[in-house]
Structure 1
Amino acid sequence: MRQRLLLCRAMPLPPPPSPPPAPRTPGVVGGRLFASLPSPPPLQSRREVHIWYILPDELNDASQLKMYMDLLSPSERKTALSMNGEKLQKGAVLSRALVRTTLSRYTDCKVDPRSFEFKKNKFGKPEILWQSDDSRMQWPLHFNISHTSSLIACGITMDTPIGIDIEEKKRKTAKNILSLARRYFTPSEVDHLAKITNPDAQQKEFIKLWTLKEAYVKALGRGFSGAPFNKFSIMLAANNRIQITVAPKVLKDSDSSCDCLSENWQFALAELNNSHYMAVCIEDDSRSSDSGNGRPPLGLQIWKTIPFLEDTLVSGTEAVKLIS
Structure 2
Amino acid sequence: MPFEPTHLYITRPEQVKTPGTAILDNAERSRADAFKFPQDRELYIAAHLFMRRTLSKHAPIAPADWQFRTNAYGKPFIATPGYEHLQFNLSHTQGMIACAVSYAGTIGVDVEKHKPLTGLDALCRYALSPLEAHDVLSIRDPTRKEQRFFTYWTLKEAYIKARGMGLSIPLQEFTFTQDTKLEWRLHTETPESNPQEKWQFDTHIIGQHHLSVGIEKINARFISSLTFLYNSGSDNPIKIY
Work out whether the TM-score is over 0.5: yes
Aligned length: 240
Contact 1:166 1:276 in 2 (8 A): yes
> Which deviations, in whole Å up to 9, do the C-alpha atoms of 1:197-253 show, x marking residues without a partner?
222111111110111111011111112x22111011111335311011113xx43xx
Contact 1:140 1:159 in 2 (8 A): no
Q: Distance in 2 between matches of 1:195 and 1:75?
A: 45
Judging changes above 3 Å, is the alpha-carbon distance between structure 1 residues 304 and 69 closer, same or farther for their aligned structure 2 residues?
Answer: farther
For 1:302, the equivalent position in structure 2 comes to 228
2:91 paired residue among 130, 133, 146: 146
For 1:230, the equivalent position in structure 2 comes to 172
Q: What stretches of structure 2 of length at least 5 have no aligned partner?
A: none
Contact 1:140 1:158 in 2 (8 A): yes
The question of 1:312 aligning with 2:238 is answered no
Using structure 2 for the length normalisation, give the TM-score: 0.88
> Which deviations, in whole Å up to 9, do the C-alpha atoms of 1:126-169 show, x marking residues without a partner?
10113xxx4x34x721000000021111100004100000012x
**1:82-97 residue pairs with structure 2 within 5 A?**
82-97=34-49
Q: Which has the larger radius of gyration?
A: 1
- Aligned residue type for 2:53: T
The question of 1:283 aligning with 2:216 is answered yes
Judging changes above 3 Å, is the alpha-carbon distance between structure 1 residues 195 and 95 closer, same or farther for their aligned structure 2 residues?
Answer: same
For 1:102, the equivalent position in structure 2 comes to 54
For 2:108, the equivalent position in structure 1 comes to 163
Contact 2:127 2:153 in 1 (8 A): no
Identical positions, percent: 25
Deviation at 1:80, TM superposition (A): 1.1
For 2:18, the equivalent position in structure 1 comes to 65
For 1:205, the equivalent position in structure 2 comes to 148
Deviation at 1:183, TM superposition (A): 2.1
Contact 2:105 2:216 in 1 (8 A): yes
Q: What stretches of structure 1 of length at least 5 have no aligned partner?
A: 1-42, 252-258, 288-294, 317-321
The question of 1:55 aligning with 2:12 is answered yes
Q: Distance in 1 between matches of 2:54 and 2:91?
A: 14
Instruction: Return 69-78 or 208-217, whichever deviates more.
Output: 69-78
- Aligned residue type for 2:56: S
Q: Distance in 2 between matches of 1:142 and 1:260?
A: 23
Judging changes above 3 Å, is the alpha-carbon distance between structure 1 residues 144 and 304 closer, same or farther for their aligned structure 2 residues?
Answer: same
Higher relative contact order (CA 8 A, sep 6+): 2
Deviation at 1:86, TM superposition (A): 2.0
Contact 1:51 1:156 in 2 (8 A): yes
> Which deviations, in whole Å up to 9, do the C-alpha atoms of 1:89-108 show, x marking residues without a partner?
1111111111111111111x
For 1:129, the equivalent position in structure 2 comes to 79
Contact 1:177 1:202 in 2 (8 A): no
Q: Distance in 2 between matches of 1:261 and 1:239?
A: 19
Contact 1:161 1:220 in 2 (8 A): yes
For 1:33, the equivalent position in structure 2 comes to none
- Aligned residue type for 1:313: N
Q: Distance in 1 between matches of 2:208 and 2:18?
A: 24
Q: Distance in 2 between matches of 1:126 and 1:296?
A: 25
> Which deviations, in whole Å up to 9, do the C-alpha atoms of 1:277-321 show, x marking residues without a partner?
11110112444xxxxxxx756322122337xxx4232515xxxxx
Q: Distance in 2 between matches of 1:114 and 1:200?
A: 42
For 2:117, the equivalent position in structure 1 comes to 173
Q: Distance in 1 between matches of 2:153 and 2:2?
A: 30
> Which deviations, in whole Å up to 9, do the C-alpha atoms of 1:5-59 show, x marking residues without a partner?
xxxxxxxxxxxxxxxxxxxxxxxxxxxxxxxxxxxxxx9626x321122212345
Contact 1:147 1:153 in 2 (8 A): yes
